[in-house]
Amino acid sequence: MNYDKEKVKQIILTDYLDGRLDADEKRKIDDLIAQHHELQSFYTRAVGCTVKPFEHEREDIVAPVGVWESIEDQLDSLEQRPSVVDRIFQPFVHFWNQPRIVLSGGIVVVFLMFVFFFYQQRQKKVVRYNQEAQIEYFILLVETSSSDKLEETIIETRLEKYFL
């Protein structure tokens, strides 16, 4: 009978040894093992090396009593210690519990900061406006540099008035 030796060996090592084949598939592999000496010895070695050594492994090992005891100790200390979320929100909760005067003071400070921020924004706008005006002025200078109107325009600046 023709068969893919390597594939059958793979099946023996996995599904056959682990009892995952249905009755038909299992019978086919059984027949092949019975007919071919190489497969027979492969199967015997596979069982000897990968199944038998583990047959009595499980019962030997149980968790020592000390494991639960130290888990309990750690659970105790865990329950006494506030969680990360609690630690983050604790100051806010504390602040919220303060007398109203402190809370109102805080609100006033926030309001002042808000006003200051807007004032700063307005100042920035003025500066931006001036910059634009200056750029426009320079463009005008460049455009009129070759024309006869140059002197008239330049005289308008205070700095030039001073030097001229």
Partner 1 sequence: MLEVAPHIVEKAAQGDREAFKFIYDTFGDFVYRLAWRMLRHEQDAEEVAQDVFLQVYKKLKYFRQESSLKTWIFRIAVNLTLNYRKKMSRNRKRLAAYRDQETEQYQTRRKNMDMFKEDYQKAIDRLLNMLNPEQRICVVLRSIEKMSYEEIAQTLNINVNTVRSRVMRAREKMMSLKEVIMHELR
In the complex, which residues of this chain contact partner 1 (CB under 8 A)? 10, 13-15, 17-18, 20, 45-46, 48-51, 53-54, 57-58, 61-64, 66-68, 70-72, 74-75, 78-79
Question: Is 29:8 a contact under the CB 8 Å cutoff?
Answer: yes
Question: CB-wise, 17 or 154, nearer to partner 1?
Answer: 17
Q: How far is the CB of 76 from partner 1 (least distance, A)?
A: 9
> In this structure, is the dihedral angle defined by the CA atoms of residues 158, 159, 162 and 164, taken in order, positive or negative?
negative
In whole angstroms, give the CA distance from residue 34 to residue 145.
108
Minimum CB separation of residue 18 from partner 1 in Å reads 7
For the bound state, the minimum distance from the C-beta of residue 54 to partner 1, rounded and expressed in Å, comes to 4
CB 84 within 8 Å of CB 47: no
- Which one, 11 or 32, has the nearer CB to partner 1? 11
Residue 140 has a CB neighbour count (10 Å cut-off) of 12
